[in-house]
Amino acid sequence: MSKQINVALIGNPNTGKTSVFNALTGLNQKVGNYPGITVDKKQGVCKLARGFKAHIIDLPGTYSLNASSIDENVVIELLLNKNDKDFPDIAVVVTDVENLKRNLLIFTQIKDLEIPTLLVINMADRMSKKGISLDIDVLEKELNTKIALVSTRKNQGIDNLKELITSYKSIPAKPCLNTTDIDISYFENLQKAFPSQLLYKLWLVITQDVNFGKTSRQEIDAVAPDSYRDFKTKSNTDLKRLQQKETIKRYQFINNVLKKGQTIDLSQATDLRIKLDRILTHKVWGYIIFFIVLFLMFQAVYDWATYPTDLIDESFASLSDWVKNTLPPGAFTNLLSDGIIAGIGGIMVFIPPISFLFLFIALLEESGYMSRVVFLMDRVMRRFGLSGKSVVPLISGNACAVPAVMAARNIENWKERLITILVTPFTTCSARLPVYVIIIALVIPEGSFLGMSYKALTLMGLYIIGFVAAIASAYILNKILKIKSKSYFVIEMPSYKVPLFKNVALTVIEKTKTFILEAGKIILAISIVLWVLASYGPGDDFKNAESIVKTENPSISETELEDKIASYKLENSYIGIIGKTIEPVIKPLGYDWKIGIGLVTSFAAREVFVGTLATIYSVGSAGEKEDEDTIKNKMAAEVYPDGSKVFTLATGISLLLFYAFAMQCMSTLAIVKRETNSWKWPIIQLFSMTTIAYVVALIAFQFLK
């Protein structure tokens, strides 16, 4: 007998489903992908009594089994496919005690699939505050299930829930109501056509695509042979009408059940939500508060994150130096210290800013405030062809465009969603941050204006430029794109909650880890390739570097000679040749061939820029200086042959602007391809953004030089 129980956690958004998941699995969880689609698949393991083990999947939040997005569709795909290795032995439906009525809708649907279904009523600690009392016995009987009253906030009821999961075989698997009388003859015929199939399953398959937009439709796989789908004796309009009837019917049942098993004493109820929303969604105060929150967020990312970032940068510089001085000199030591450690250092500096940003976003989402922002911004955003829900991608885009583009899935209207996807990469993702930080530190002078340093102001300016670029291009796209799609917009305004530390911490750790690992892989690979390309070269110029330099400079000191040889070698290495080849194109922007190499490698991922320069400058210096050198110091010391500085104000500003506009991220292009189902959009993005970047950087340099 197998002692593993497959558990599927299902529920509406904002019911604390993920808190239940975290309470059950703790750190025993991992996030992956469902095959072929980019929906996060969260699974975990929980030890139960009597040697049982639960394998738990936290399915995407959904209001019903009538999916309207690929995230929601994952739930149906799993529940309809008995052969899936994750097919649940027991479905656990998580509900919020305050929204029991609405949360029970999906419960009645899953019961119709004849899967053993357990009901979790979460946030039980709020019952007294809301004047709610429940008769669990009556509810269990009426709903034909077992109920676990849980409070993840107070850590109550979890053991009872585990016990109920262990005894999953005693949980009823029969429906609790019959909805087929909404159209008796239709359902009778349907059953006759497929006598061996469960009626509700047939109905779900037939209606599966009714609520989908045209693009999402292509992404969903048919869970059943086409023959089911062909049994469509009704038009979509009629099917939709039947779904409406079904929903009403289910609610009638739920209302009756709750009349018997739930009493709400409104005089006992306090509603913080309404009081807070009078201010937080107010026509004037709401916007002011939102901008203060945003301001605090960016201030924090710049101010608080710079200390750990500097620390990490310096530690890696000393590590690289230590390796060089400790290991025997040779090709491998150079690869390790100049290539790999410098490259990894380039990515580690991301951890502080990106985790701060993920922290803020998690707090906004967990507290329920994000929905208010969506509400406030919808009308304003619509002017630019966006939706209020575009705010979430545009804010998350400041951490990373990849999850941000995915977050656009919540937008119901296809045109609004497409425009959001196309403009999100303009927002200042954290991959730009190390580039910005290092160039700002190099070229922007000390001094302050109205209490903010010039450096902080420049950074803020770049964030604003990114945001304005996104909004402005959305406005243009809205005028150009001729797409007709039905516009609707629904968002829940959940009650406010103090974010749970565990939830926030796990989100931040998970997202930061994924980001660092993904980006880390690319950076590591590129640093190694770069180092090889920089350490070898074709032809005699590279091989005979030493003698050539010696004959050209017969009377210079030992160290100067070594530096000269090293840079001569770099110039004639493979990478040097690549850099020199593109130099004419980038010269008008104020860049030399070394920066050019940084630009080339940046097209894989822009965060590579700093690491690339670190590698190039490490290879380019003789590498035997005793003092540890940070990347910044190396860049500051870089000069043209005539002795003038490479990183002047004009070059710096030009570089900053180039990075602000250019599309330099393979991962984003790949995700845009996935989300739009075509190469057309990512290619348009790549060319238009990069052209804008070139032109703007050109103008800036020519004006400032």
Partner 1 sequence: MQDTLADLKRGEKGIITDVSSSEIPLKLLEMGCLPGNEVELVQVAHYADPVYLNISGSHLAIRKETAGHILIEKVTNE
179 lines the binding site for partner 1 (CB under 8 A)? no
* Tokens of residue 430, six digits: 């954290």
State the minimum distance, in angstroms, from the CB of residue 266 to partner 1: 10
Binding marks (x or -) toward partner 1, 99..128, rule CB under 8 A? Answer: x-xx--x-----------------------
**From the CB of 377, what's the least distance to partner 1, in Å?**
8
**Furthest C-alpha separation in the chain:** 102
Site string for partner 1, 246-265 (x = CB under 8 A): -xx--x--------------
Chain positions 273 to 292 lying near partner 1, rule: CB under 8 A, are: 273-274, 277-278, 281-283, 286-287
Q: Is 581 in the site for partner 1 (CB under 8 A)?
A: no
CB of 374 to partner 1, least distance (A): 8
Q: Cβ neighbours of residue 258 under 8 Å, at least 6 residues apart?
A: 100, 101, 104
The footprint of partner 1 on this chain (CB under 8 A) covers a number of residues equal to 46
Residue-by-residue DSSP string for 216-261: HHHHSPPSS-HHHHH---S-HHHHHHHHHHHHHHHHHHHHHHHHHH
Residue type (1 letter), 61? G
Q: Does 478 bind partner 1 (CB under 8 A)?
A: no
In angstroms, rounded to a whole number, what is the distance separating the alpha carbons of residues 182 and 115? 23
Buried b (16+ CB within 10 A) or exposed e, 39-58: bbbbbbebebeeebebbbbb
Binding mask 36-75 for partner 1 (x = CB under 8 A): ---------------------------xx-x-x-------
Q: How far apart are alpha carbons 121 and 17 in whole angstroms? A: 10
Closer to partner 1 by CB, 112 or 277: give it.
Answer: 277
CB of 279 to partner 1, least distance (A): 10
Among 82, 85, 192, 379, binds partner 1 (CB under 8 A): 379
Binds partner 1 by CB under 8 A, chosen from 155, 189, 263, 487: 487
Tokens 């991992």 belong to: 30
Q: Across-strand partners of 11?
A: 94
Find where tokens 């070698």 sit.
569
Q: Are 681 and 422 in contact (CB under 8 A)?
A: yes
Q: How far is the CB of 157 from partner 1 (least distance, A)?
A: 23
Neighbour count for residue 248 (Cβ, 10 Å): 11
Write out 685-705 in H/E/C secondary structure.
HHHHHHHHHHHHHHHHHHHHC
Alpha-carbon gap, residue 664 to 667, rounded angstroms: 9
Chain centroid to CA 316: 28
Residue 617: CB minimum distance to partner 1, A: 51
Distances (CA, A) of 684 to 70, 401, 462: 25, 17, 23
Q: Shortest Cβ distance from residue 497 to partner 1 (Å)?
A: 13
Nearer to partner 1, 281 or 651 (CB): 281
**In the bound complex, what is the minimum distance in angstroms from residue 285's beta carbon to partner 1?**
11
Residues 6 or more apart whose CB falls under 8 angstroms from that of 334 comprise 324, 531, 535, 619, 623
Shortest Å distance, C-beta 678 to partner 1:
26
User: Interface with partner 1 includes 437 (CB under 8 A)?
Assistant: no
Residues 6+ apart with CB under 8 A from 44: 21, 24, 25, 26, 28, 29, 30, 55, 56, 58
- Nearest residue (CB) to partner 1, 108 versus 428: 108
Binding mask 337-376 for partner 1 (x = CB under 8 A): ----------------------------------x--xxx
Q: Provide the 10 A C-beta neighbour count for residue 680.
A: 10
- Closest separation between CB of residue 176 and partner 1, Å? 17
Distance CA 223, CA 204 (A): 10
Nearer to partner 1 among residue 132 and residue 442 (C-beta): 132
**Least Å from the CB of residue 103 to partner 1:** 10
Please identify, using beta-carbon distances, which residue of 99 and 306 lies nearer to partner 1.
Answer: 99
Binding residues among 489-508 for partner 1 as defined by CB under 8 A: 489-495
Give the total residue count for the chain: 705
> Residues interacting with partner 1, by CB under 8 A?
63-64, 66, 68, 98-99, 101-102, 105, 211, 237, 240-241, 243-244, 247-248, 251, 273-274, 277-278, 281-283, 286-287, 371, 374-376, 378-380, 388, 412, 486-495
